[in-house]
Amino acid sequence: MQDLKSCLSIGLVLLSSDFNVIGMNDYARMLLAPAMKDGLGKKLLDYHPRRTHEKIMGLLKELSGAEADTPFAMVIDVLNKVLMINLSRLDIIKPVPRAHWAMTFIDVSEQTGAEINTSSGRVELKKFPVYDNGACRFLDADSVYCIRSDGNYCKVFTADRSYYLHLSLKAILQRYTGPNFFRVHKSFVVNLKHVHTITRSSDGKAWISFDRETVQAVPLARRKLAEFKQALSLR
């Protein structure tokens, strides 16, 4: 697992209370230049493709409802780069007291091993960027045992602990397209490399256990059983 060095350049974008882009630093201007042809002052949505508006509005709604002192962090891909962003609320007292927003970001394309899939056009990652006690870390895919959906986040489990990642299970499978990650349930993805066995509970439900007892077993959906066994046989 890698840590993010503190010397990396940090982008800063200032947003008004109604999410107009009202300022940014030089690094943000440089990185976001292709999307900023019309300059500052427009709604945040106006800088994004229409197909992404619904998702962005959902994130803004979640952000607006967050506690004032709670930072909001996630991973996005923009202009074929992978950015780790953090959104936080600012209290402005002049000329009129109101909340504004500051978005800071770092380019983690290199640290995540990001590459563009020439077939899908999507940005794919080789490492999982997660926050851990205020620090940004990068988990090797092989160290991940399973991933559980947890609201708008996912929880990533390694042999000895877990981390939050702001991506849906669907987005994770789009970003990590190697043969080892398999969706076994509507709420779980497992790493086939760490699967130990399939067991059944007294009520007949199938469960997947791993090669480390510290990692809890996860459910296996009945409709996924045959496909999962085939995937295991091809490892």
Residues 35 and 78 sit within 8 Å (Cβ to Cβ): yes
pTM, two decimal places:
0.74
* Span 47-103, pLDDT tens digits: 888 888 887 887 777 666 655 555 566 777 787 788 888 888 888 777 766 778 888
Provide the H-helix boundaries in 165-221.
Answer: 169-175
Residue 27 has pLDDT above 50, yes or no: yes
Structural domains in the chain? 2-107 (3.30.450.20), 144-233 (2.40.50.1020)
The half-sphere exposure of 211 on its side-chain side, counting CA atoms within 13 A, is: 11
Higher pLDDT, 24 or 175: 24
Ordered DSSP codes for 181-234: EEEEETTEEEEGGGEEEEEE-TTS-EEEEESSTTSPPEEE-GGGHHHHHHHHHT
